[in-house]
Amino acid sequence: SSSALKIVAFNSRKVVDIENHADSAKTMIDFHSIDEELLEKMVYDALVWSSLHGLLAGDRTVQRSGKVPGVGMVHAPFALLPVAFPEVQWKLACEVAPIFNELVDRVSVDWEFLQDSLSSTKRVDDFTSRLLEIHSKTLEINKKQEIHLGLHRSDYMLDEQTKLLLQIELNTIASSFPGLSCLVSKLHRSLLKNYGELLGLDLKRVPENSAVSKFAEALALAWTEYNNPSAVVMVVVQPDERNMYDQHWLLATLKEKYDIATIRKTLAEIDKDGELLPDGTLLMSGQAIAIIYFRAGYAPTDYPSEVEWRARLLLEQSSAIKCPSISYHLAGTKKIQQELAKPNVLERFLENKEEIAKLRKCFAGLWSLDNSEIVTTAIEKPEHFVMKPQREGGGNNIYGHDVKEKLLRLQKEGTEDSAAYILMQRIFPSVSPAFLVRDGICHKEHAISELGVYSAYLRSKDKVIINDQCGYLMRTKVSSSDEGGVAAGFAVLDSIYLT
């Protein structure tokens, strides 16, 4: 066996904890039956498969790995085996996807709702304030916008106690991993083809993942709708992007299947080379742009200077299809999620009672900090809450004792600053053992998982062209870690095994 391959086993005391959990969490695999030799073989095969099939990311230890493709590549972190997930809950997550799509679309055209709901946040959060400013400035232009494209990912955890599928958040901008998530499902199927019999697992229980082809299809149909055969898709990227292969999978699929070309530009480059024609056509160094697909622009760090803000405004003023538009972006903020969870708010946007009930069932407890009763409870029992600012990309939330400290400080200072946050019920998914592979090293860990369901929505005037779920992303992380991002280094990519 390979010397490069190291297996890090977890300590045996923890195994007992897991066994105590076993009655509630249907443990799929008898992890004790997997001996060291088999494990090493599977990890080795998985690493080879990942390298040969492009389940890759830039290696943080190689300087140019975020700029030059093909330089400093490392396998994306993955779970060796898929995680058990109840088929009923999986179907439910797929079923609500088009309803959430419609909700986002309806919220996005309700300018007043967006501005009002975010008005107190705006006063204390500069980033949200800048987005709202662009929203106000482009209101009239955007009202004339005919084509609306959303590529979302709604994330859930399965609450162990109530068995409810509860939404963590709905991402409307830069939903990542449509490319790599498909590959992880394929990796797992391939491993089960070889080892499934030995493990007592059937590869057909890992659902096929169509995220990359469905997202490419949505981009292609939107491009067709734009109706300028010489226009291309522009991806807005960060200057340094180690997750570039995930993006390239989508762009390569778009090229191969639909012969649509893409260019990649940073916000700074867009400011330099972008130009608007009087009719709203966006040109980049003379090249017409049909779709602006954002894989950057969701975090304050994406706007280090006024240059980047000027670029975002320019894009928003153009007649190109924005994926997402500033209003879709705002509709996906945590503050809006919290406002939508208030009684009778869903009714403002949706008519069908059954659909409303289905969405509401996925809502965890969500509160603004105006609610003094809930603030008091959260100070008493901070471990039952998560405090969230209006940020994306992982690593921004406040947990446990820090929630209490932060709330007490905000109370003492008595400022408006509390409007920057929302409070959310902490969800506790069941813990099960998992093999997490990162940097060629396999760690046996106690892990929890978060399911993301991709969805696409395409509307041209009153005609809804696409409204569909588009495959999935499972992310698994050590149960003791609060945050969840893969790129942020907390989680690994995973897939599901339907039970």
175 in a labelled binding site: yes
Active-site position among 50, 66, 142, 153: 153
Is 475 designated active site? Answer: yes
| Shortest Cβ 473–ligand ADP spacing (Å) | 11
Is 176 designated active site? Answer: yes
Strands in 42-146 per DSSP E: 56-58, 73-75, 78-79, 83-85
Strand 56-58 to strand 6-8: parallel, antiparallel, or no bridges (unpaired)?
unpaired
The residues, ordered by sequence, that sit 6+ positions from 71 with a Cβ below 8 Å of its Cβ are 58, 62, 64, 65
Is 334 designated active site? Answer: yes
| Shortest Cβ 424–ligand ADP spacing (Å) | 4
Residue sitting closest to ligand ADP (CB): 484
Residues composing the chain: 499
Is 388 designated active site? Answer: yes
**Can you tell me the distance from the alpha carbon of 107 to that of 377, in angstroms, rounded to the nearest whole number?**
31
| Shortest Cβ 168–Mg ion spacing (Å) | 6
Residue nearer to Mg ion on the CB measure, 169 or 269: 169
Q: 328-345 burial, b for 16+ CB within 10 Å, e for fewer?
A: bbbbbbbbbbbbbbeeee
397 in a labelled binding site: yes
Active-site position among 322, 392, 418, 445: 392
Active-site position among 264, 335, 459, 475: 475
Find the helix or strand (DSSP H, E) in which 92 lies.
Answer: helix 87-108
Q: What is the 3-state secondary structure (H, E, C) of 157-212?
A: EEECCCCCEEEEEEECCCCCCHHHHHHHHHHHHHHHHHHHHHHCCCHHHCCCCCHH
Active-site position among 122, 334, 404, 406: 334
| Shortest Cβ 224–Mg ion spacing (Å) | 29
310 in a labelled binding site: no
CB 348 within 8 A of CB 389: no
64 in a labelled binding site: no
| Shortest Cβ 334–ligand ADP spacing (Å) | 7
72 in a labelled binding site: no
Residue nearer to ligand ADP on the CB measure, 242 or 426: 426
Strand 491-494 to strand 463-478: parallel, antiparallel, or no bridges (unpaired)?
antiparallel
Q: What angle do CA 441, 447, 448 make, to 5 degrees?
A: 135
Residue nearer to Mg ion on the CB measure, 177 or 497: 177
Query: Which residue, among 280, 243, 285, 281, has the nearest Cα to 263 in the 3D structure?
Result: 285
Residue nearer to Mg ion on the CB measure, 66 or 332: 332
475 in a labelled binding site: yes
Binding-site partner at residue 396 among Mg ion, ligand ADP, none, CB < 5 to 8 Å by type: ligand ADP
**Can you tell me the distance from the alpha carbon of 404 to that of 378, in angstroms, rounded to the nearest whole number?**
7
Query: Which residue, among 467, 440, 438, has the nearest Cα to 454 in the 3D structure?
Result: 467
Is 348 designated active site? Answer: no
Classify the phi-psi angles of 118: left when phi > 0, otherwise alpha if psi is within -120 to 50, otherwise beta.
Answer: alpha
176 in a labelled binding site: yes
Is 481 designated active site? Answer: no
Phi, psi for residue 237 in degrees, rounded to 5: -125, 160
169 in a labelled binding site: yes
Residues 378-407 that bind Mg ion (CB under 5 A): 392
Residue nearer to ligand ADP on the CB measure, 28 or 341: 341
The residues, ordered by sequence, that sit 6+ positions from 412 with a Cβ below 8 Å of its Cβ are none
399 in a labelled binding site: yes
Query: Which residue, among 273, 393, 407, 256, has the nearest Cα to 332 in the 3D structure?
Result: 393
296 in a labelled binding site: yes
| Shortest Cβ 238–ligand ADP spacing (Å) | 15
Residue nearer to ligand ADP on the CB measure, 40 or 483: 483
Question: Which parts of this chain interact with ligand ADP (CB under 6 A)?
Answer: 155, 168-169, 364, 386, 388, 391-394, 396-397, 424-427, 450, 483-484
Active-site position among 66, 142, 169, 189: 169
Active-site position among 50, 65, 171, 209: 171
Residue nearer to ligand ADP on the CB measure, 99 or 166: 166
**Can you tell me the distance from the alpha carbon of 355 to that of 106, in angstroms, rounded to the nearest whole number?**
14
Binding-site partner at residue 426 among ligand ADP, Mg ion, none, CB < 5 to 8 Å by type: ligand ADP
Which of 171, 210, 262, 325 contacts Mg ion by CB under 5 A?
171
Is 171 designated active site? Answer: yes
| Shortest Cβ 166–ligand ADP spacing (Å) | 7
CB 457 within 8 A of CB 155: no
How many residues touch Mg ion under the rule CB under 5 A: the total is: 3
Active-site position among 50, 142, 154, 176: 176
116, amino acid identity: D
Catalytically active residues are: 153, 169, 171, 176, 334, 388, 392-393, 475
Question: Which residues does the annotation place in the binding site for substrate?
Answer: 153, 173-176, 241-243, 247, 295-298, 475, 486-487
**Binding residues for Mg ion, per CB under 5 A?**
169, 171, 392
Which residue ranges make up the annotated binding site for Mg(2+)? 169, 171, 392
Query: Residues within the annotated binding site for ATP?
Result: 169, 334, 388-397, 399, 424-427, 450, 477, 483
